Structure 1
Amino acid sequence: MPAICCCGTFCNGGSPLVVRLPATRWSPTSRKSLSRPTAQESFQLISLRRPRQPPTGNQPIPLPDNPSSQKKVFEICNDDDELSSEDSSCSPSDVLMLMDALRLPVEEDLYLSLIKECAESKNASHGAALYSHVRRTCPGLLRRPAGLLLANRFLQLFAAYGCSSAVLRLFDQMPLRDATSFAVVISSLSADGSHRQALHVFVEMHMRTGDRCLPVLEPRVCWLAALGVILRSCVHAGELYFGLQLHGLVIKVLGSCEGAVFGDLEDSLLQFYSKFQHQESAMSVFKRAISVSRSAGSWTSMITGYYRQGQFKEAIYLFREMGRAGKKRNFYILSSTLPACAKMRDAGWSGKQVHAIAIKLGASSDKFVCSSLVDMYMKHELPIEGQRAFDSMDGLRDYVCWNALLIGYAQRGYVVDAAKLLNKMKANGIEPQESTVNHFLMAFNGALYWNMD
């Protein structure tokens, strides 16, 4: 086997290895033999002069000695091959710049994916840059039927940013609109507080499409949500008759599947009728709804509606019926029922029953429930029970709870207890309002008057 000598040549047992090349006969006419070797021939000659190197194989990559640097390497080269949060600064704008630099067309699927990224990042500048890129590279795409899905996604993106003006501007430029387009615009206007404008958009849609505006052939879930938004807009705008007409339209078009529709729209309809004090209509809707589909919000709306109309006994009866139906009563329902118990003339008997249910459900430590309990006990002239409920709120007391106990003491003539509570209230850093101080002063003046007599 030839060995490498110190001179850099191959040797065979100490004697140089002679490489014999084929002899070429020289002739004066053959100038090719005297010309310079080509690049390939030079590379071959240089390769012959180099010593043979061992094969590299799969050698491990050397890691840095610094432990912090190793941690950074492992963060970058994790199992999912994803960059860490510190190094991931790629935005949708960067993706579009890269596609433009490579002169590659941006497909609709990529636009939809980038819109989703913009919505999750909640960065309005990225969404505006993406919309400008679509208008610049694909002019007229959003105005064609093929771009309806992309236009609806941009509507949802602008609505998520709270830019109702941008939603309306894009909506006006769309020649083709579907149920999703109208639903997004109505929801955006209602969330922005433009309730009357949301109703105008619904009227315009109904004039264009007629009864087909409701979810007969259109996406049903989308329209059921939109109808709930319109009913809430009727409440805020004070449009009672518009809501009644909308309810009639729902019954007219969807009378065959009335129970299912009322099951989805029940909360909005009950809130609508309760706000306008139409408790009989609300009860009619409540009875027509499927028992399984009645949510906690439906029961709460009915209880609150009865309380607003002064029908306290009916509100408490409905609370008991909810328990018999096997429905779970949450903290909000308990805090909505206790004010009705405070108005009952039963020496606090119904309130004590609700208090027992609250303890059983673990709601006695909730600040809203405890505030309602304190108010209920003090109105029934039960200061010991009210003080007990107040003491159970250690660390959860707010101004409402302090105010309920203080006014209860003042109205019942417990001036000394009210004064102690007022000082304790100031020591805890809670400043009483003027109405609370007035109640205390009136109680104090009354006590002085009776003592003088």
Structure 2
Amino acid sequence: MAVTASTLLERLLQHAVRPKSPTKTLTLRPPKPPSSTILRHLSAGDIDGAIAILSSSPSPFPASVYSRFLLLCASRRALIAVRRVESHIISSCHPSTPPTFLMNRVIETYARCGCISDARQLFDEVPRRNGGTWNAIISAYARCGCPTDATELFARMHGSGILPKDVTFASVLGSCAHLLALTLARQVHGLILKFGFCVNVILSTSLVDVYGKCQINMDDAQKMFDEIPEPNPVSWNVIVRRYLDLGERMKAACMFLKMIRMGVRPLSFTYSSALVACSDISLVLMGCQIHGNLVKSGFERDYIIETSLMEMYAKSGLLEDALRIFNCCSSRDVVSWTSMVSGYASCGRISEAEMLFEEMPERNVISWNALLAGYVRSCFWEKSIEFFQQMQGESSEINLVTLGLMLNACAGLLDVDRGKQIHGFVCRHLFKQDLFFSNALLDMYTKCGCLRSAELWFREIGLARDTVTWNSLLSGYARHGRSEEAFIYFSAMLLETTPNEFTFSVMLAAAANIPMVEHGKQMHGRIIRKGLKKDEIIRAALVDMYCKCQLLLYAIRVFEEETSSDVVLWNSLILGYAYNGRGDCSIKLFEAMQMSNIRADNITFNGLLRACIAEGYVNLGRQYFDRMGDEFGVLPRVEHYERMIELLGRYGYMLELEEFIQRMPFEPTIPMWNRIYDFGSKQGYGRLEQLAFSRI
């Protein structure tokens, strides 16, 4: 065969490529990473061993290995290890770009480790972001309690045209709920519908949650819940909890029972919320039904549910049932002990609460506050002070709730000096003042008559003020006869918050002080327009206001709107009749009150004695005074003795007045002696006149 130039060139090239020696040369390739070894360490939870292998291998591992590693780091919150994994991913992939989905997993892991700064830095450095990258950082901010950053990043993501996922929407809705950003939540809801996520149960549940948190009623939340085709247990848990948080206990309990009827197995937290909703005597039968369902479902021995059951029975006043559950508890800790102490204390059974408190194996600040709150609620002011001093000696845990309760005690004792000391203590120790403490301090200043200090502190609270804050200031002005200023502040209140029933009762009392009938009628009109329920407190305030403004027909009309067994309402009209010189009507109303089996109190007899003074019924007045203690168990007070002195003296019963003074269990006050002197002088009863003169 002839050798041509082309065949020669081909041979030469073949020889150039082939080795001259028959010995085969091994090609050097990078060794495969020891994936199986590192996986064994990860399965055993050995982060240090896995890090050692990671550091010794310059080549990349499979993505599944990195994912397993990051999951372990997140569960252990091993921030240093996460940084090592991130560094290995980036360095082993050099010079190519590391996979974006792995960078997304690292961002998520940083967030789960609580290091949002590292997550944000990595997000800013990722060269090729995708929807998962945005989802990871938004979820990271939402998880780490940075709702403002989460919503701002979502706005940037939406502006860049990247389609969010359902997880992203859920994170943003959670941030809206945290910020109470109702308008933004509605906009996000619109985007959810636009992108076709409307049938997603997770997002629907998130919408129920955000609407329930952001609004003063549950209309939108309930509508959203009703649109969920098949609510899961989490959905039911959210709707029950939101009703409970808004104080709509009956609705919360009814939704729970509806859940049971639908055949959905509740979560333990849902049971707990339902039991808390039934922590009222009016709902205790429903609570017993839930207890029965718990027994059937096998949830009764759940620790959270046991505690909720105890609280439900204790707050409903069924302390024996609560104690029975407490004694059968699988584990009694400081929480269950505190629940029992709080239950007995809140029901006024202070001695039993004290015994339980002394038996507690350990105590925390909530335990101390529970008994202290019982003392305060029962108006044991001096005992509250003593207990607080004991608490200071035995526990270093004193919080703003403790100090707020002490301010309540100071208000009860009218001890403004001690209240100022507590105020100074909080300022010196740089406590972060919460609204409970701020309102308690304001209430103390107003009740003690330090209205200037109350005004200054009211301004100090600033935009954190709520309806309770305004009510404290308004009641202070009304209580101390400064009704005009109360109405000025009421006008300012309308620009900032919504008045409630208590607000209107205070303003009606302010209108009655002067009297200011036009202002009182305006308050009555506002109550009707706002559709507020006229409970006994509102009706009693209306009756009192109209009586003091000498509009008895209006007062009677309000009284007769609805039958009531509330003694305060009856007392208001009894006093009103007497105030307007209609003592006979007071006496007839008292007889009707007895026929209705409404037990009279000290204020009732104060009104009756006023009525006897107005009508000149001296003998009847003495009968009422004697019946107070003998028949009704009401201990006569200073004002009752003043009324009897007035009754006997005005109508010339000087001998009886002298005998009455001698039988009094205490020395008459200076105003009483002045009045006795006037009667003795006017009636020419020298012995009584001289006796009074010697005491003045």
TM-score bin, normalised by smaller chain: 0.5 to 0.7
Out of 220, 223, 235, the position equivalent to 1:284 is 223
**Aligned equivalent of 2:160:** 208
Percentage identity across paired residues of the two chains? 23
Aligned residue runs from structure 1 range 42-441, under 5 A: 90-92=49-51, 94-99=53-58, 106-107=59-60, 110=62, 113-114=65-66, 116-121=68-73, 123-136=78-91, 138-139=93-94, 141-142=96-97, 147-209=99-161, 213-214=163-164, 223-254=165-196, 258-259=198-199, 261=200, 263-277=201-215, 278-291=217-230, 294-343=231-280, 345=282, 348-399=284-335, 401-425=336-360, 428-430=361-363, 432-440=367-375
TM-score normalised to structure 1 length: 0.66
Q: Per-residue deviation at 1:140?
A: 5.5
Cα distance between partner residues in 2 of 1:228 and 1:160: 17
Q: What amino acid sits opposite 1:183 in the alignment?
A: N
Cα distance between partner residues in 2 of 1:364 and 1:88: 40
Q: How many residue pairs are counted as aligned between the two chains? A: 341
Cα distance between partner residues in 2 of 1:88 and 1:204: 37
Cα distance between partner residues in 2 of 1:168 and 1:287: 38
1:140–1:183 Cα change, 3 Å: farther
Q: Per-residue deviation at 1:111?
A: 5.9
Q: Per-residue deviation at 1:224?
A: 1.2
1:154–1:328 Cα change, 3 Å: closer
Q: Per-residue deviation at 1:246?
A: 0.3
What is the aligned-residue RMSD (CA, Å)? 3.4
Cα distance between partner residues in 2 of 1:369 and 1:86: 34
1:167–1:442 Cα change, 3 Å: closer
- CA deviations over 1:221-274 (Å, ceiling 9, x no partner): xx21221111111122332211111011111221xx622x2x121332222112
TM-score normalised to structure 2 length: 0.44
Q: What amino acid sits opposite 2:198 in the alignment?
A: E
1:150–1:352 Cα change, 3 Å: closer
SS at match of 1:395: coil
Any conservation in 2 of the 1:93–1:126 contact (CA below 8 Å)?
A: no
Q: What amino acid sits opposite 1:238 in the alignment?
A: L
Any conservation in 2 of the 1:415–1:444 contact (CA below 8 Å)?
A: no
1:169–1:390 Cα change, 3 Å: same
Q: What amino acid sits opposite 2:344 in the alignment?
A: Y
Any conservation in 2 of the 1:338–1:351 contact (CA below 8 Å)?
A: yes
1:342–1:174 Cα change, 3 Å: same
1:258–1:344 Cα change, 3 Å: farther
Cα distance between partner residues in 1 of 2:355 and 2:191: 60
Cα distance between partner residues in 2 of 1:114 and 1:408: 53
Q: What amino acid sits opposite 1:402 in the alignment?
A: W
- CA deviations over 1:314-340 (Å, ceiling 9, x no partner): 222211111111111232111101122
Cα distance between partner residues in 1 of 2:368 and 2:287: 28
Cα distance between partner residues in 2 of 1:159 and 1:229: 13
Q: Per-residue deviation at 1:133?
A: 4.4
Cα distance between partner residues in 1 of 2:130 and 2:298: 47
Q: Per-residue deviation at 1:186?
A: 0.8
Q: Per-residue deviation at 1:436?
A: 1.7
**Aligned equivalent of 2:474:** none
**Aligned equivalent of 1:68:** none
1:280–1:92 Cα change, 3 Å: same
1:238–1:92 Cα change, 3 Å: same
SS at match of 2:278: helix
Cα distance between partner residues in 2 of 1:258 and 1:88: 42
Q: Per-residue deviation at 1:134?
A: 4.9
Cα distance between partner residues in 2 of 1:135 and 1:335: 48
Cα distance between partner residues in 1 of 2:66 and 2:57: 14
Cα distance between partner residues in 1 of 2:202 and 2:380: 55
Cα distance between partner residues in 2 of 1:86 and 1:368: 31
Q: What amino acid sits opposite 1:269 in the alignment?
A: L
1:178–1:357 Cα change, 3 Å: same
Q: What amino acid sits opposite 2:125 in the alignment?
A: Q
Cα distance between partner residues in 1 of 2:127 and 2:48: 37
Any conservation in 2 of the 1:93–1:129 contact (CA below 8 Å)?
A: no
- CA deviations over 1:30-71 (Å, ceiling 9, x no partner): xxxxxxxxxxxxxxxxxxxxxxxxxxxxxxxxxxxxxxxxxx
1:296–1:371 Cα change, 3 Å: same
Any conservation in 2 of the 1:358–1:364 contact (CA below 8 Å)?
A: yes
Any conservation in 2 of the 1:232–1:268 contact (CA below 8 Å)?
A: yes
Q: Which structure has the larger Rg over C-alpha atoms? A: 1
Provide structure 2 residue ranges, at least 5 long, that are not aligned to the other structure. Answer: 1-38, 384-628, 636-696
Q: What amino acid sits opposite 1:213 in the alignment?
A: L
Q: Per-residue deviation at 1:96?
A: 5.0
**Aligned equivalent of 1:62:** none
Q: What amino acid sits opposite 1:94 in the alignment?
A: I
Query: Which segment drifts farther, 316-325 or 415-424?
Result: 415-424
- CA deviations over 1:82-124 (Å, ceiling 9, x no partner): 799799975355345344xxxxxx35x5366345335425544
Q: Per-residue deviation at 1:161?
A: 3.7
Any conservation in 2 of the 1:168–1:185 contact (CA below 8 Å)?
A: yes
1:137–1:329 Cα change, 3 Å: closer
Any conservation in 2 of the 1:92–1:118 contact (CA below 8 Å)?
A: no
Any conservation in 2 of the 1:418–1:440 contact (CA below 8 Å)?
A: no
Cα distance between partner residues in 2 of 1:229 and 1:375: 33
SS at match of 1:429: coil
Q: Per-residue deviation at 1:412?
A: 3.4
Any conservation in 2 of the 1:374–1:404 contact (CA below 8 Å)?
A: yes
Cα distance between partner residues in 2 of 1:133 and 1:85: 21
SS at match of 2:282: coil
Cα distance between partner residues in 2 of 1:410 and 1:128: 53
Cα distance between partner residues in 2 of 1:424 and 1:129: 52
1:155–1:251 Cα change, 3 Å: same
Cα distance between partner residues in 2 of 1:281 and 1:132: 48
Any conservation in 2 of the 1:115–1:127 contact (CA below 8 Å)?
A: no
Q: What amino acid sits opposite 2:298 in the alignment?
A: G
Q: What amino acid sits opposite 2:172 in the alignment?
A: I
SS at match of 1:363: coil
Cα distance between partner residues in 1 of 2:373 and 2:251: 34
User: Which protein is richer in helix relative to its size?
Assistant: 2
1:86–1:245 Cα change, 3 Å: closer
Q: What amino acid sits opposite 1:91 in the alignment?
A: A
